[in-house]
Amino acid sequence: MSILHDALPYAPWVNPHQRRLPGVMPLPRAEWLLTDPAYAAQMRERCRLLAEHGAQVLGCLPEAQEAARELLDEVLRDLPAHGFARSGDLVRCPDGRSVALDEARPLWTIGHLLQADFCILQKPDSGAEHVLTGAVLCFPSHWTLAEKLGRPLMRIHRPVASYDGQLGARVQRMFDLMRPEQPLWRVNLLQYDDPALFQPRSEQAPKTGPERGAFIRSERQCLLKLPRSGAVVFSIHTAVVHRDSLSPAEATALREIERASADPAL
């Protein structure tokens, strides 16, 4: 389903210094969650996907259950600042829906509250890397939850050419040093021919050349360390615009990026 924003709600890649991988920046704790003008339309699509494609878009290993419940607690604490109202076990959303809180299905509940997708990553006691142990992933950008769940970071990013051993070590060190009071964020930039939000693709699918389509897909990716479990939460807030909707500064930056690299992803 196509849901377009009138304008990108974020575009730090306009600044050349913020295009370098991994490109993370500090984020005030109060700004971790986000709702934007596409909230109602995106939430209708999320509810549909959770109802019709639950096994594809939702997964939680047993070891992630406690962290998922903790994530729900953190989300509920922050929701009032974004136009939500809680009354007992019901949350009234900005689009007028009421969502019943289900502590037995915390990721399912979060998936009905917010536009963003949420991934939980945990580092086993004897492990060297964080592992994806749970996620609600309604808007995948050419990947599938089934192929990533239970995998460590380097394996998850195996299809990404720029995610080499050096970058992987930097990201893992960043995960290890994160503090709950200091979230981090970055924004990527993709060009697609298809504006659909739900775009799963297997690693085994035939590779095609880089897309230079008419639609710009940008993900606001935030990292938050949960204070009790120590799990790292990776949230993905997706916006899609037509290329003609870019501001002059964004269009100029995009042309610079296109000239600098054959890969449309930052």
In the chain, domain spans = 12-260
Q: Which of the 8 DSSP states describes residue 152?
A: B
Residue 209 pLDDT more than 80?
A: no
Rounded CA-CA distance 54/176 in Å is 31
Tell me the average pLDDT of the chain: 91
What integer is the mean pLDDT of 150-175? 85
Tell me the per-residue pLDDT of 33-79, one tens digit each, with 9 for 90 and over.
999 999 999 999 999 999 999 999 999 999 999 999 999 999 999 99
Rounded CA-CA distance 161/73 in Å is 36
What integer is the mean pLDDT of 112-120? 98
Q: In this structure, what is the dihedral angle of CA atoms 95, 7, 215, 206, given to the nearest 10 degrees? A: -60
Residue 131 pLDDT more than 90?
A: yes
pTM for this model (two decimals): 0.93
Going by pLDDT thresholds of 50, 70 and 90, the confidence category of residue 264 is very low
Cross-strand bridge partners of residue 100: 90
Q: Quick one: pLDDT at residue 265?
A: 47
Q: Quick one: pLDDT at residue 230?
A: 96
Going by pLDDT thresholds of 50, 70 and 90, the confidence category of residue 21 is low
Residue 2 pLDDT more than 80?
A: yes
Residue 266 pLDDT more than 50?
A: no
